[in-house]
Structure 1
Amino acid sequence: MQSKTMQYLFLFLGVFALSTSAIFVRLADAPSSITAFYRLFFATLLLVPFLFFNKENWKALLSLSRKQLGFGLFSGLLLAIHYVLWFESLNYTSVASSTVIVTLQPLFSFAGGHFLFKERYSKGAIASCFVSLIGCFIIGWGDFGVSIQALFGDLLAFIAAGVITAYFFVGQHIRKNLSVIPYSLLGYSSSAMFLGLYAITQNVSFVDYPASTWKAFIGLALFATIFGQMVFNWLLKWLSTSAISMSILGETVGTCILAYFILDEVLSLQQGIGITITLIGLALFLFHQNKSAPQS
C-alpha cells in the first residue's frame, strides 16, 4: 500500500478502535489476568478462519523458520506482560492517568528507532512529538494521583508503555517477511497461552462472570484488538514503530470522548484544550514524517 493518505487513514481508524480498550476493561467485571486472556483468546478465534480460507496464510504459518517462531513467541510474551501490567494499573489509578502514561510510547520508540533501526528524526518531528505529549498530560493532569496506590498504578502503566514498544519493534522486524495474519495469530495465540498460565497461578475463575463482562471480552477482542492493534501490525510493513507509537497518543483523545458518551464521565475544558493540542501535535508529526519520507 504505497498511498500515504490510505496508510494514515487506516492508522487513525486503528487508533479510534484502540481507544475502546480502556472502556471495555472498565466494563469487564473480572480480574485483569482473565480480561487480558480472553481479549487475546477471542482475537485468536476470530483469526483462525482466515487460515482455512486462505492457503497462503496457512502455508506461511507452517513454513515458519525457528527464528521467526522464536520472535513470534517472544512478541506474544511481550504482549501478555503489557496487558497484565496495564490492566492491573487500572485497578490503582484513574483511566485518564493510566491511558496517558501508557501512551508515552514515543519516548521509548524514538530512542529504540534511533539505536536499533538507525532512524533519523527532524527537529520538527521531535518538537511535534513533545507538543502531543504536553496535550496528553493536560488531558490527564487532574487525574494524576498523589497517593502511594496511584503512583504504583502509574508506574505499572509506564513499564507497560516500554513493553508494548518492544512488542512493536519485534513486529517491525518480523513483518518484513511475514504477512499480518500468520504474525498476529502466532503472537495472539502465544500471548493467550502465557496469560492463561498466569491466570491459573492467580487461582481465579475462567467462567464465573456475568453476560455484560463476556460482551466486554468480545468487544476487546473484536474492536480494540482486531480493528485496533492488528491494524498497527499490518501497517508495520510500511510505517515505522515511531510513527505508530506517535499515533497511539491519539488513544487518549478517543478514550476521553468515548468515556464521556459511554461511562458518563465529564469532558472538561482542560481536557478539551489537551485534546486540541494533542491532535495538532499529531498532525504536525505526520506532516514532517511525510515531508521527510523518500518519494517513490
Structure 2
Amino acid sequence: ASFWKLSILGLLLGLHFATFISSVKITTVINATVLVNTTPAITLIIYWAWSKEMPPITKLLGLSLCMSGIFLISMAEISFSSSSIIGDLMALIAAALWAAYLIIGKPIREKIDIISAMTPIYFVGCLVLMILSLMISGFKFPTQNQWAPLVGLAIFPTAIGHTLHFSSMKALRPYQTSVLALLEPVVATILAYFIFNEVPAPPFVIGAVIVLLGIFLIVRR
C-alpha cells in the first residue's frame, strides 16, 4: 500500500476523532454515542453500493437487531433538541468518517502487515489532530494530573484497541468489523457492575442481549 493511501486513512481517523470529541462537547454524551454507533448501518450501505455485494439475510437481520438493541439501551436517556442539532450532526459525520475509514482500509489491510499500516496512519492522524487543536484552541500543555489519563487513552483504547480493530479487517468485512464496536457499552456496563456495583436497568439487559445476538449473526461464518 502506498503512503498516500495510508495518509488518507490517517486523515479520516484524525477527522473522526475531532468530530466525535467535538460532538460530545456540544450535544449530550448519550446522543453522541448512539449516533456514532450508527457506523455499522452506514458502513453496510456504503459497502453494498461500493462492492455490489448483497449481504446475506442473516447479516441484515443481525444488523437490525444490533441497531434495535443500542436504541433500547439508550432510549431512556437520549433526547434531541434544536440546541444540540449541530453536535448530533457532527456525531453522524464522525460515524460516516469511520465507515469510510473501514471500507478504504479493508483492501489495504489484506495486503500489508498491521505495524506497517498503523504507523503512518497514526502519524498522520496525530498530525491532523494537532493542527486542528492549534487552530481551534491554541497551544495548551497538559497539567500534571492530566498526563496519566492521556497516556492511558493513548495506549489502551488507541494503540491497542484501534490497532486490533483495524487488524480484524484481514478476516472480516468492514460492516462486520464496525459492529464489534457495539460491544463497548455492553462490556463497559458489565465491568461497572463488578467494579463499581452499578446495577444496569432492565431495558439495558434486554438491549444488551439483543446486541449480542445481532453481533453473533453478523460475525459468524
TM-score > 0.5 by shorter chain: yes
Equivalent residue, structure 1, for 2:173: 240
Give the letter for the 2:112 counterpart. L
Shift of residue 264, structure 1, vs aligned partner:
8.2
What are structure 1's unaligned runs of at least 5 residues? 1-63, 291-296
1:177-213 C-alpha deviation (Å, 9 max, x unpaired): 22110110100001111111111112333314242x2
Equivalent residue, structure 1, for 2:185: 252
Give the letter for the 2:219 counterpart. L
1:228-284 C-alpha deviation (Å, 9 max, x unpaired): 110022121221111101212222323444566778876322222211111111112
1:154 aligns with 2:88: yes
Q: Distance in 2 between matches of 1:100 and 1:170?
A: 23
What are structure 2's unaligned runs of at least 5 residues? none
Q: TM-score, normalised by structure 1?
A: 0.69
- Helix, strand or coil at the partner of 1:144: coil
Q: 1:172 to 1:193 in 2, by over 3 A?
A: same
- Helix, strand or coil at the partner of 1:215: helix
Q: Superposition pairs for residues 121-160 of structure 1, below 5 Å?
A: 121-160=55-94
1:20-56 C-alpha deviation (Å, 9 max, x unpaired): xxxxxxxxxxxxxxxxxxxxxxxxxxxxxxxxxxxxx
1:55-103 C-alpha deviation (Å, 9 max, x unpaired): xxxxxxxxx6xxx111111111111110011111111333333222212
- Helix, strand or coil at the partner of 1:145: coil
Q: Distance in 2 between matches of 1:198 and 1:259?
A: 34
Q: Superposition pairs for residues 59-208 of structure 1, below 5 Å?
A: 68-208=2-142
Equivalent residue, structure 1, for 2:202: 269
Q: Distance in 2 between matches of 1:236 and 1:286?
A: 12
Tell me which moved more, 189-198 or 86-95.
Answer: 86-95
8 A Cα contact 1:133 1:249, kept in partner:
no
- Helix, strand or coil at the partner of 1:142: coil
Q: 1:257 to 1:88 in 2, by over 3 A?
A: farther
8 A Cα contact 2:65 2:210, kept in partner:
yes
* Number of residue pairs matched by the alignment: 221
Aligned structure 1 segments of 4 or more residues deviating by more than 3 angstroms: 203-206, 255-266
8 A Cα contact 1:96 1:256, kept in partner:
no
1:120-174 C-alpha deviation (Å, 9 max, x unpaired): 3111210111011100001111221233233332221111011011111121121
Q: Distance in 2 between matches of 1:260 and 1:229?
A: 25
Q: 1:205 to 1:127 in 2, by over 3 A?
A: same
Q: Distance in 1 between matches of 2:137 and 2:194?
A: 35
8 A Cα contact 1:102 1:161, kept in partner:
yes
Identify the structure with the greater helix proportion: 2
Shift of residue 105, structure 1, vs aligned partner:
1.1
